[in-house]
Amino acid sequence: MKRICVVGSLSYDLVMRVPRRPQKGETIIGTSFNTFVGGKGNNQALAAARCGAPVSFIGKVGKDSFGDQIEAKLKESGVDCRFLFRDPELGTGIADILVDADGDNSISIAPQANGRLTAADIDNARDVIALSKFMLMQLEIPIDTVIHAAKLAKKLKLTVLLNPAPAPENGLPDELLAHVDIITPNQTEAELLTGVKVVDMISAIEAAKILQAKGLKQVIITMGEQGALLVDQNSAAHMTPAFEVNVLDTTAAGDAFCGSLLAAMARGDSMENSLIYACAAGALATTKLGAEPSLPTLEEIKELAKTHIPCAATP
């Protein structure tokens, strides 16, 4: 399998289940509380590694017990942590997550050390980037660092996948998009980036083509229970249906999707098969509470993928 280099965020997640998410000024009594390792970069690296891909991580945590727990979990899954840097002043990032009775979540993030991952850190990890075939990034670290990493990755001939989360309301810099091959927004992120409200396949295709007009080769829009839409480099659209599962918590579903998608591509699968595995992984991630515990193994993904029902391509 080809190596995947993940550049991104790591956090310690504080997760509370609530009957519903509170209104402004309202206090809600939670029904449970747990802590997990998280952060979009961390989740995506774990997801890819659990699918058997060789993964290297570039990121930053604090010199604290939260950072220790995150590093231990990454190493446990076989992730190369040589370039997991420690910030001596700021602590590890924190995510405060509320999960309602339907499994939907609201997340507040304090980036902490994530905000200090620099271009110099990326350059220090050049050797491991050069050994990789794919780079996977998100937007929970400084945008200048993301741009620098994407530029270096393209210089070294990597395929770059950007998960544009959280999506900036003022759009993404052209300088970044020029160095991205595949982008994977969800419906909300696609709307923020294009102005198109994505509610069905037709509107998703419209949003995807706006993104492609900015120079992106392939656009994948994840659409929850509707599945995932791909518009490829030939402007052909293909919808991969979602898998039906009992949803408990949607936290990290998108991360499971991205990590398993690249893992499938890294072992040489077609994009069609990679999307089936990614949709299966995303669905399985909703069946357990928390980010890290919900990220499925390759065996679990294969079992669910057997139930896939094909959907015809759309011109």
* Residues catalogued as catalytic: 255
- Quote the tokens at residue 101: 């009775």
The residue written with tokens 């990614």 in the block is 278
Answer whether 187's CB lies under 8 Å from 167's CB: no
The residue written with tokens 């405060």 in the block is 96
136, 148, 128: which is closest to 8 by C-alpha?
A: 136
- Quote the tokens at residue 234: 């030939």
Give the Cα separation of 204 and 222 in Å (integer): 9
Number of alpha carbons in the 13 Å side-chain half-sphere of residue 224? 13
Instruction: Report the relative pairing of strands 237-240 and 4-7 from DSSP bridges.
Output: unpaired
